[in-house]
Structures are given as C-alpha cells and as structure tokens.
Chains A and B, each alone.
Chain A
Amino acid sequence: MPSPLEGNALFRGIYCWLAANKGNALQCPPDGPAFKDGWLPLGWEWLAYTIAALAIVMLVVNAFMVLATIYTYVERRLLGRFQSRLGPNRAGPFGLLQPIADAIKLLAKEDLVPAGADRWVFNLAPVVMVVPVILVLAVLPFGRHSFVADVNIGILYVVAVTSISTLAMFMAGFSSGNRYAMFGGMRAVAQLISYEIPVVLSIVGVLLLAGSLSLVSIVEAQRIPYILLQPLGFFVFMAGSSAEMNRSPFDLVEAESEIVSGYHTEYSGMKFGVFQLAEFGAVLTTSGIMATLFLKGWEGPVLPSHLWFLIKVFLFAFLFIWVRATLPRLRLDQVMAFAWKFLLPLSLINIFITAIEVLALDTTKLANLWLMAGINMAVAVLGIAAFSRFVRLGGKPRDITIEIPMASEAR
C-alpha cells in the first residue's frame, strides 16, 4: 500500500475488508476484528486499492459539493440578514431548498456560446476553475484520521494547486470575446499573482513554528492555536486569501458596478453555475485551510472532531460573509498597492520576528509559547497601526490632453 493514504482510517477499512489475507498482514493486522479474510484473492491488491481510493474520492467530492450548496444558502441568508431583508425563504422550509431550485434552473437554461468566442477555451475554463478547488481537498484533514492523503508537502501542494484558478479566470475572460470579460481577466491576472506572494509568505511563520509542511502535522503541532502565535500572519493570510477568492473588498475581478460580471459575463446556464460553485467552494476550502493552519484544525473538546472542523470552517466563512456585507471595493491600483506596500512588508516582518523567536526561545515549553504570543500580538498591532498610518493607497489621475476627437466630431 503506498504511503500517502496509509494513515487514512476509511481507506484502510475498505482496503482491508477487500484484500486482507496472509500475504499483506503488515497493512491489515490479522487480529483486527473485521480483517480476518478479505474478499479478493492474493495478488488482487491493486483492485482493492483502486476501489478504496475511488470510494474515498467520491465520498469527499460529493460531500464537498453538498456543503458548497449549503454554503450558498447560508451566505445568501446571512447577507439578507446583514442587509435588513429576509433572504431566500420561499423554496421549502426556511428556503432550505433554494440551492436545489437554483441548480435546476441553471441546468434547464440554454447554454450560450457567444459568436466571437474561442469555443474550446471558453468551454474548458469552468472545468479548469473548479478542479483546483476540488484538488485542495486531497490534503485537507477533515477530522481526526480523516483525510484523503497526508502528503508531506501538503501546504506547498495547496499553494500550487490554488494558483491554477488564475489561469481559468484569464481563459474565461480572454476567450469570451467581450471587453468587460477581458477587463476582468486582466484584473484577475494582475491581482491574483500579486496576492500569491504575501499569502505564501504569511504561511512561512506557521511552518517555522510547526516544523512541517504536512497539514496533519501542523494541526498536531499546535499546542495553542497559531492564531494567537501568528496574529500578523493570520491577518495577512485572511486579507490575501480574500483577494485570491475575489471576495469583497477585493472583488475587482467581477466588480458588478464596473465591469458587469467580470470574466464570467458571457457565461450562462450550468457553466455559470460551475463558476459560482468554484467560487463558493473556494471560500470553504480557504476557510478549511485557515482553520487548519491557525485554529487547531479538527481538535476540540467534547464534540466529534469532524463537527469541530465544520464549526471552524463556517466560523471563517461567516467572517468572509461579514466583510462582504460591510465593505466597499478598492480600486485596482489601490489593491495592488495594498499587496506590495502593505501586506508584503508585514508578512516579512512576521517571518523575521518568528524566526528570531524560534531560534532564541525553547518552543517546547508552554510558557515560552505564551511569551511569543504576547510579543507577536504587540508586533501585529503596532505593525498594522504604523502601516495604515504611513502607507497611502490613493492614486492620482493621469494627465491626458485629448488627441482623439469625440466620435461625434470625427463624423
């Protein structure tokens, strides 16, 4: 049995139920109650492996899709509450069937491809958009011993995979043959690549403390939640990842009041639905990563670990919804300035301070951790206050002497 899946309890269960016999007693201990004799003969472990892996993938992906649809309901309902209105409440009790109604509506709609579009790229873009969101789930630990794979470079994998969505947005924007979509695509490239850097750097502090890239090890290494030890890192990660997901106040890529709907202006029907699903799913996976990195992941007293994980995910998702309901949008140059002048130096300061602390203090002692938490809190407050005081995001207009005549004059 290959190593990444080994620690997974569910995989182990299915695999051993199918293939347990004398030949592979190492993986499936013969004294285990259910694993005395497998269904498959010796030499058919590969089939057992495939079935077990597929079962897990099916389970995780489908559970995630259901969760994402539930999340759309939660978001719309909460936004309604924030905006002193009711939100969807017609379909089913409390409007709970609204996501299903929406999905049926989207599926029944005509799927239009604009005449000027690049068909192949246009059709491929939604797929490229949704795949990275699902791929992240491969390493995300949902609960104690519950994950698809415990990859030893987990967080690096997450960073690498999520940045694919930039490509999808640019594909969608470029292939639509629509100028608003083009604007959205260009904005996506500029913004998402800029924000990748502070986001990655803000994770480094966590890695220094945990001493591992595996998400499972990071959770297990947290004696006190890293949100206390890495407040600055958390702030940068939260701001940066909301820009990565095009959430308010960085939702320029699909700024409704400016460029209609940004890169997915021309999409209709289920392709549009897939974009929406990918976006809402991204909120969930990002919240999941935040919970894993900064809030002890699945760990918590009394309640089962999966429930704790869900609670933490929805806590962060609620934060994102709250921000969305509150803040206006920044301008493009201001968004870029915020990444390069504000978040990047802050994340560097965070790395610097954390590295010194890890070198100077013995991190195995709990008292030292609390000392670190105190220092880092102070640094975070001072850093954010100082930067928000001295860094100015505003821009000036470009001097333009009009050379192009107005269209009416030219006529």
Chain B
Amino acid sequence: MPIRTEPVTVNLGPQHPSTHGVFRLRVTFDGEVVLDVEPVFGYLHRGSEKLGEERTYTQVITLTDRLDYVSAMTNNQAYVIACEKLAGIVAPERAMYLRVIAAELQRLVSHLVATGFFLNDLGAFATPLMYCFRERESVMDLFEMLCGARITVSYMRVGGVFQDAPEEFWPALNTFTTDMPHYLDEYEQLLTSNEILLTRTKGVGILTTEKALNCSVTGPVLRSTGFPWDLRKVDPYEIYDRVQFDVPVGEQGDNYDRYKVRIMEMRQSIRIIDQCVQQIHPGPVKADVPALLRPPPGDAYGRIEGPKGELGFYLVSDGGIAPYRFKIRSPSFINLTVLRDLLIGWKLADMIVTFGSIDINMGEVDR
C-alpha cells in the first residue's frame, strides 16, 4: 500500500529566527522539499514615502537612516545626491571624499552583517556572526567620531556633510584599514574552504544572469552571476572616477558566489578608503546651502551603488520646502523578486540559506 502524503503549508514568519526582520513566507512543503513559496511583506511598513512629503528636504535625511538600518550612511548619500541634482548644488571636494569614506565603511558594515547572518542561517552557532560584529563595532566607533551616532547617523547634508572629521578619526581609520584585511583573511580561513560550507552553498540557488537582468536585480546578487555591473564604475558619482578598484564577479550565481563576492568587495572597499585618505585635502565640508532649501520645480533621480544594490531616490519638487513626491527604489525589495524561482525544488534548509544570501533588510523592503 502506498503511503498517503499531502503537502504541508507552513507560515515561515513573520516571527521566525531567520527571517531577517518581519518577513513572512507562505511555503508549501512536500516533506522537506519546497513546492511553492509566496513572500508576504508589509509588516514593517511605516509610510516613509508619504512621511517624506511632509518634511523639509533636510528633515528627510533622518527618514533615510531608518530605511536600511544597517547601512544608514549610503542611504544618506543617495538621498543627498538626489537633492543636489534637484537643486543644482555641488558639494565641496573634501565633503565628497568624506562621504565616500563613510559610504565605503558602511558597505563594509553591511557586508559584514550579511556574511555573519548568512553563516548563522547556515547553522554556524553565532561564531562567525560575533566575529563579524567585532569588526562592525570598530566601524561604529568611527561613525561615532564622525557624527556622534552609531546606527542612525544622519551624517550627510545637502551640499556636504554635517561636520568635518575630528583629529582622532584619521589615526583610528588608519588602524582599522590596516587590521581589516587580516580579519578578512581570518574569515576566509574559517569559512571559504570549509567543506560543510562548500557542500551547502555550491550549486545551490543558482541565479542566471538573464533572469537577474529581467528581474532588475542589482548589487552583489547580480554581480555574483558574472555580470560586472557596478554603478561606481558604469556611472561614477562623487569621486569614484578618481580611485582605482576592481568589480569582483562570481561564476555561476549560486549561494557561494554571493557570499564570495561580498568578501571580495570588502577588500575593494578597503582599497578605496586607503586611496581616499591619500587624496583628501583640507577645505570646506559644506556648501553654502540655505537651511530651508527650496529647489526649483522639476524632478531628479539620484542613484548610488548601495551595499545591497542600486539605491535610488526620485524627487519631484514643486518649488516648496518639502518634496512633492519622494520615491525610493530600494534594492532589497527588488532583489526579492527572484526569490520564488531560486527556492522551488530545494529543501527547507536551502531555502533559509538562499534567502539569507540575497541579503535583504526589512526596513528597506517595507519602507
């Protein structure tokens, strides 16, 4: 007699240890195999876009901090770039360098968090996570020196940055960039050639370049498929055309490549920071911008290569003190569109890992 079986539907989340916030997956399982996945989100919706239309251009910066709360600096950067485009302001050179240094530090943080939680999803009992957070802590200290805050930094302003870096920032930054490559070597020693990690991630959750492009996936997830698309190279903003760096790409777009691309990108970020420290000159850090900015009517789209992909802000001005329309193109949200295709047919354990390797942040998905 054949055993009668039937598919089981499980609501994974919104409260589950590895949903990276309040994400919910309605999964249909046949035993352990995923038959179907339906992502449900909106549990962290705060109406940031509408809130932005009620605030002045400077006040919106604090809202951007709370989008992707592990990379506040890059959110600030994307927003102020959009504002500067809209108002026709050019930030001083030193401010641009400071922004790039801060943004690359933030990229390091975001990738460290992504790697740590990815390994946590793989089942390594918090050890890689704690190691990654140890380095994140030193970046947080650097941010504290820059602007007094650690997570919700609000460091950047339209036309520059909030304040110049203090004296003690530069030696601390130097120590960090000297130590960080050794820590990265340590991670690679622990992880990259770990047999279990290889068996679990190689060939799992393969994303083809074609599918990634069709779904307009960006960031490390796209680059892991072997497509060298990096806005810092193809559409350089701020001072990225003055620094040397490579765009690391993966081979086949599996979970391992997504992890590896992030590790390689961290090395490039350190390279960029080192060059910026050499090139930066004394000077003003903020252009002369009125406290109540009234950009001329029109629209502007500012985009940067955020840690998770292309982060863009689309602003429409009607000449008032607040944006008429404030639209966020959040990479986490758009990268999630490929999730269903990556998961179907794999097992429960792979589902968690693949989901972790896309590296989303619910603050940004739900906005």
Contacts and interface: CB of A to CB of B under 8 A. Distances in A.
B38 A408 contact: yes
Given A179-B10, A334-B199, A393-B199, A329 B36 contact: no
B347 A331 contact: yes
A400 B26 contact: no
A79 interface: yes
B215 interface: no
B17 A332 contact: no
A364 interface: no
B121 to A, nearest CB: 5
Nearest to A255: B123
B134 A84 contact: yes
A152 to B, nearest CB: 40
Interface in A352-375: none
B349 A258 contact: yes
Contacts of A333: 347
Interface in A318-359: 324-334
A92 interface: no
A406 interface: yes
Given A179-B10, A257-B123, A394 B202 contact: yes
B349 A251 contact: no
Given A84-B134, A328-B197, A388-B195, A251 B123 contact: yes
A258 B33 contact: no
Contacts of B194: 327-328
A400 B38 contact: no
A260 B17 contact: yes
Contacts of B199: 330-331, 334, 393-394
A270 B76 CA distance: 48
Contacts of B122: 257, 328-329
Contacts of A84: 130-131, 134
A85 interface: yes
A211 B131 CA distance: 48
B203 A327 contact: no
Interface residues of B, number: 43
A249 B348 contact: no
Contacts of B18: 256-258
A255 B33 CA distance: 16
B28 to A, nearest CB: 6
Nearest to A402: B36
Interface string B19-50: 00000001010011101101000000000000
A399 B121 CA distance: 24
Interface residues of A, number: 43
A252 B196 CA distance: 14
B287 to A, nearest CB: 43
Nearest to A388: B195
Contacts of B196: 249, 327-330
Contacts of B7: 404
B198 to A, nearest CB: 9
B216 interface: no
Interface string B338-367: 000000111111101000000000000000
Contacts of B344: 397, 400, 402
A83 B347 contact: no
Contacts of B352: 257-258
B124 interface: yes
A398 interface: yes
Interface in B122-177: 122-127, 130-131, 134
A398 B345 contact: yes
A20 to B, nearest CB: 54
A183 interface: yes
B38 A257 contact: no
Contacts of A180: 10
A79 B35 contact: no
Contact of B28 (A260, A397, A404, A408): A404
Interface string A363-397: 00000000000000000000000001000011101
A248 interface: yes
A393 B347 CA distance: 14
A407 interface: yes
Nearest to A180: B10
Interface string A249-265: 10110011111100000
Contacts of A328: 119, 122-124, 194, 196-197, 200
Contacts of A314: none
A397 B347 CA distance: 8
A399 B200 contact: no
A82 interface: yes
B120 interface: yes
Contacts of B120: 257
Interface of A: 79, 82-85, 179-180, 183, 186, 248-249, 251-252, 255-260, 324-334, 388, 393-395, 397-400, 402, 404, 406-408
11 contacts: A248-B124, A257-B120, A257-B122, A257-B352, A258-B352, A327-B124, A329-B196, A331-B200, A332-B348, A333-B347, A399-B345
Given A328-B197, A334-B200, 5 more contacts: A83-B130, A257-B17, A328-B123, A394-B202, A406-B38
